[in-house]
Amino acid sequence: MAGIKLLFCADLDPAEAATWRHHLAAALPEADWLDADAARAAPAAACAAVVANPRPGALAGLPGLGFVQSLWAGVDRLLADPTLPPDVPVARMVDPAMSAAMAETTLWAALSLHRGFFAYQRRQRERRWHVHAQRRADEIGVVVLGGGAMGQAAASRLVAQGYRVGVWSRSGARPPPAGAEGLAGDDGLARLLPRADVLVNLLPLTPATRGLLGARRLAALPPGAGLVNLGRGAHLVEADLLDALDRGTLGHAVLDVFETEPLPAGHPFWTHPRITVLPHAAALTDPRSAASVAAANLRAWHAGRPIEHLVDRARGY
Ligand code: NAP
């Protein structure tokens, strides 16, 4: 990759940024890394950017910019930057290690909801000894919203666990994993929700999916269902979730993502007995594997070969 300039644009804490720099440099020893100021000073030079939460405007004013590789799977924040050059191809991160981590988190949450382990946790705090009924996995419907890299990995693990698994996508173009049922569109969602003893959200945040999990859809779930939001906070209407939990129509929610992150200290989710909070940690990007994924894509771009996992800028994912 000699002669090609690469920018690293990340709004990360210094230690995390240093780890990324180390792994990216090891995966791309031939690359010539520069910062955005240097790239702006030499506007004619072709360059690509590797980004993680870049500050809005970080990629503006770079006429030589030819490709943006995200280190994150979700690109909603990146695409929301109005200064992102409109015609530059953007690829998102698809790393089997991250998909495996997401499958683990999904299985833990589904299993904990199905077996009522969060209820046992509540009772422990109350020093209450009470055994509830035990249902078999094949009696439990788990619906995964999103049938992409994350949704497929999660659904496969849920099928292997013995659940009745449904997968919802926009187009239905990608078949669901063996043993799961795939449905698409509004009709598909309307058919799947009443079967979702556990509803797992793994959608990207786009104009079409923002606010999808509101009162109407939560009310379509079976009584006492569990919700697992691992997509983005803005998929969920927070007030509607609290209302459904407090009225008892929804049993418990496992939330990894929030409208405002970090979740503010005074937010009611922190102390709600029927909410389990995770700090956006369902599936971290692992620099040890993701740096190689990024490197392969950057080499493909440089060589004029097809780039993997290109974002459709119009659709937003
Ligand atoms: P992906 O491969 O692009 O898959 C997206 C899936 O969502 C596709 O199946 C797509 O349908 C479906 N979809 C998109 N818009 C839809 C709509 N309007 N209605 C129904 N289905 C729709 O994305 P991914 O890699 O699986 O990642 C998904 C999201 O997970 C990311 O965007 C990010 O927000 C989240 N995530 C969270 C964490 C975490 O730690 N919490 C980590 C990684 C990712 P088609 O198949 O028809 O295109």
Question: Does 173 contact ligand 1 (Cβ within 6 A)?
Answer: yes
List for the chain the helix, strand, coil content (%; round to 5).
35, 20, 45
> Is residue 106 assigned to a domain?
yes
User: Is 280 in the active site?
Assistant: yes
Question: Does 208 contact ligand 1 (Cβ within 6 A)?
Answer: yes
- Name which residue sits closest to atom 5 of ligand 1, judged by CA: 148
- Asked if 144 and 166 count as a contact pair (C-beta separation under 8 A), the reply is yes
d(CA 171, CA 188): 11
CATH number of 37's domain: 3.40.50.720
Q: Domain of residue 299: give its range.
A: 5-95+285-303
Domain boundary among 243, 261, 277: 277
The two three-digit tokens of residue 16, written as one number: 């995390």
> Is residue 308 assigned to a domain?
no
- Name which residue sits closest to atom 1 of ligand 1, judged by CA: 148
Q: Going residue by residue through the chain, which has 317 residues, state the pLDDT in tens, using 9 for 90 and above.
A: 565 789 999 999 999 999 999 999 999 999 999 877 777 777 667 899 999 989 999 999 898 999 999 999 999 999 999 999 999 999 999 999 999 999 999 999 999 999 999 999 999 999 999 999 999 999 999 999 999 999 999 999 999 999 999 999 999 999 999 999 999 999 999 999 999 999 999 999 999 999 999 999 999 999 999 999 999 999 999 999 999 999 999 999 999 999 999 999 999 999 999 999 999 999 999 999 999 999 999 999 999 999 999 999 999 99
Question: Does 182 contact ligand 1 (Cβ within 6 A)?
Answer: no
Report in angstroms the alpha-carbon separations of 58 from 14, 72, 122, 194, 312: 17, 16, 46, 44, 21
**If phi over 0 gives left and psi between -120 and 50 gives alpha, with beta otherwise, what is residue 169?**
beta
222 and 266 inside one domain: yes
Tally Cβ neighbours within 10 Å of residue 220: 15
- Tally of structural domains, the chain: 2
- Asked if 58 and 77 count as a contact pair (C-beta separation under 8 A), the reply is no
